[in-house]
């Protein structure tokens, strides 16, 4: 028995030695890519802060330091290596390709909530879903959503008016609850009244599950499901997941039960060609869910769970991203009075003293406001990282990487290239005037990613953000109360300000 134990122990030692040697060779080989010095086993882990704000600043500093190389590396232990892309030319080679379209393994932490919907799916399933879902963002459908944007923006305006002339306050939560109401109504056709009841179980579950996903991503010891599920955070995650899935499933079932026999046979094309009218002669407001229930994939209607994963994906992608984009824009506009004055003049020219809702024609006229929004997205892109997994051996910036390597595109670094954007820290909406973008590299501005896997909802997002910003700025003069150094951006699933956005508002009328 003692001899057998000795043999097993010896075999384990040999295997561990072989593994360590293999990983050490990988580390030495990977060190040829620009980056901070690494140490055996740990890689760079010992150098990285566990605090989100400090970690974000470290990545930004590395991006700036290694920007001339186009790529740099991070090693989170010897077995998990990251290649980060910080220049437009290298980003284009990856995200314009029809080959490297698989999301990185980091997205697996979203699978329990979102399944393998449009955001997280790969291969043939992604291609089929993308083709199927593209009509849901048809301009006729987006035009319908405009009334939802206006209705919720009006509620936001009333809430903000009660806080105007009352000192400084954090506007972040007000805007975030508004965008949550908008996505619930446009994705599911259900009003959760988040702006009126921020303590609702559903609202709290959305916020908590996002927080727990971020924490798990940055805690390698919690990556195995077996370990995570045994922790308190794992149990809280499961509770939130149950709340979110039960809510979505309940809405789907109610929608299905309310459909008439005639509606059961409609396709997306049918809906776009002929819109049903109610008794008042007004077009019936649709939600993404209405379209999904009519969607056909490979000749068949989508199964129940497939509908749920796409609705949940819309909820995830369409909530926080628009909230942070609007908040960052409010801060930057409020910190630059000359820009705010130009926007006020533009909006006064469009609306005068009217308090009427925003129309599609109005949105087209908000040219300078759109420039300001794009400049805010340049400085603070809502999604700080896009992860891809290489599907074949690939050369990036003259460095060779093997199939399966995780590559992270960093828009926040690409948007700060001094060769493309002189004085990149300055907020200057004129950068996006038509004459100034003519010769710019097409991948030098990618807040919605780019290429085949660009954000399917970017028109939806820009419309919503313009309605919210124009509603706020038509009614108020905004003064930002934080310096750049007091913002502490957190590069998590989205790029959020650590302590919110502190402003004061003064009514304009």
Query: So where are the chain's domains?
Result: 1-30, 31-35+44-507
Q: What are the pLDDT digits (tens) for 161-174?
A: 999 977 999 999 99
Predicted TM-score (pTM) of the model is: 0.89
Q: Report residue 279's pLDDT band, with 50, 70 and 90 as the boundaries.
A: very low
Highest mean pLDDT among 222-226, 329-333, 487-491: 329-333
With pLDDT > 90 as the criterion, what percentage of the chain qualifies? 41
Closest CA to 113 of 40, 11, 205, 21: 205
Cβ atoms of 299 and 469 within 8 Å: the answer is no
CA distances from 293 to 186, 238, 283, 303, 304 (A): 14, 27, 19, 9, 9
Query: How many CB atoms sit inside 10 A of residue 456's CB?
Result: 19
Q: Assign 313 to helix, strand or coil.
A: helix
178 is in an annotated binding site: no
Q: What are the pLDDT digits (tens) for 450-476?
A: 888 888 889 999 999 999 999 999 999
Residue 401: the pLDDT is 87
* Tokens of residue 438, six digits: 């003519």
Contacts of 156 (CB under 8 A, 6+ apart): 174, 175, 178, 195, 468, 471, 472
CATH number assigned to the domain covering 31-35+44-507: 1.10.630.10
Q: Give the Cα separation of 18 and 61 in Å (integer).
A: 36
Q: Give the Cα separation of 132 and 135 in Å (integer).
A: 7
Beta strand 102-103 with 386-389 is antiparallel
CA distances from 475 to 134, 153, 480, 506 (A): 35, 11, 16, 8
CA distances from 29 to 25, 33, 188 (A): 6, 8, 50
Residue 280: the pLDDT is 39
Paired with 76 in beta bridges are 43
> What dihedral angle (degrees, nearest 10) is formed by the CA atoms of 291, 297, 300, 305?
-70
Paired with 399 in beta bridges are 396
Residue 98: the pLDDT is 79
Q: Assign 124 to helix, strand or coil.
A: helix
Q: What are the pLDDT digits (tens) for 397-448?
A: 888 888 888 899 999 899 999 999 999 999 999 999 999 999 899 999 999 9
Instruction: Answer whether residue 260 shows pLDDT above 70.
Output: no
* Tokens of residue 193, six digits: 């009244």
């Amino acid at each position: 028995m003692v001899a057998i134990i000795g043999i097993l122990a010896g075999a384990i030692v040999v295997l561990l030695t072989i593994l360590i040697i293999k990983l050490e060779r990988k580390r030495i080989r990977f060190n040829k890519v620009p980056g901070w010095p690494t140490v055996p086993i740990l890689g760079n882990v010992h150098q990285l802060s566990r605090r989100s704000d400090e970690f974000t600043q470290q990545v930004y500093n590395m991006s700036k330091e290694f920007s001339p190389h186009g790529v740099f590396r991070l090693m989170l232990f010897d077995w998990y290596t990251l290649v980060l892309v910080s220049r437009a030319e290298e980003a284009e080679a990856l995200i314009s390709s029809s080959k490297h379209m698989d999301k990185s393994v980091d997205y697996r932490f979203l699978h329990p909530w979102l399944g393998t919907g449009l955001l997280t799916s790969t291969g043939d399933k992604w291609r089929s879903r993308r083709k199927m879902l593209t009509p849901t963002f048809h301009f006729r459908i987006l035009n319908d959503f405009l009334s939802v944007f206006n209705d919720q923006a009006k509620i936001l305006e009333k809430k903000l008016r009660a806080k105007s002339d009352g000192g400084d306050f954090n506007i972040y939560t007000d805007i975030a609850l508004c965008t949550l109401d908008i996505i619930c109504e446009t994705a599911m056709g259900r009003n959760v009244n988040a702006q009126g009841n921020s303590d609702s179980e559903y609202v709290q579950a959305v916020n908590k599950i996002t927080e727990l996903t971020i924490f798990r991503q940055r805690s390698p010891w919690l990556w195995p499901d077996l370990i995570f599920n045994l922790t308190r955070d794992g149990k809280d995650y499961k509770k939130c997941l149950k709340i979110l899935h039960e809510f979505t499933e309940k809405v789907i079932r109610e929608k299905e039960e309310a459909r008439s026999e005639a509606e059961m046979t409609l396709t997306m094309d049918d809906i776009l060609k002929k819109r049903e009218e109610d008794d008042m002669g007004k077009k019936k407001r649709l939600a993404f869910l209405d379209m999904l229930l009519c969607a056909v994939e490979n000749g068949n209607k989508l199964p129940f769970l497939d509908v749920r994963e796409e609705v949940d994906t819309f909820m995830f992608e369409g909530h926080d991203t628009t909230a942070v984009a609007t908040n960052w824009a409010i801060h930057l506009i409020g910190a630059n009075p000359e820009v705010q004055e130009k926007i006020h003049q533009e909006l006064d020219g469009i609306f005068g003293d009217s308090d009427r809702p925003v129309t599609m024609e109005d949105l087209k006229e908000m040219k300078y406001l759109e420039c300001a929004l794009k400049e805010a997205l340049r400085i603070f892109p809502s999604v700080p990282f896009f992860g891809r997994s290489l599907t074949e051996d690939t050369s990036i910036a003259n460095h060779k990487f093997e199939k399966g390597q995780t590559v992270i595109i960093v828009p926040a670094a690409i948007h700060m290239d001094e060769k493309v954007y002189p004085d990149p820290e300055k907020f200057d909406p004129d950068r996006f005037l038509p004459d100034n973008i003519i010769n710019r590299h097409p991948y030098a501005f990618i807040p919605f990613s780019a290429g085949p896997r660009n954000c399917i909802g970017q028109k939806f997002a820009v419309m919503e953000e313009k309605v919210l910003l124009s509603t706020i700025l038509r009614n108020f003069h905004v003064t930002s109360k934080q310096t750049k150094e007091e913002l502490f951006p957190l590069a998590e699933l989205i790029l959020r300000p650590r302590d919110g956005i502190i402003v004061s508002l003064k009514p304009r009328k």
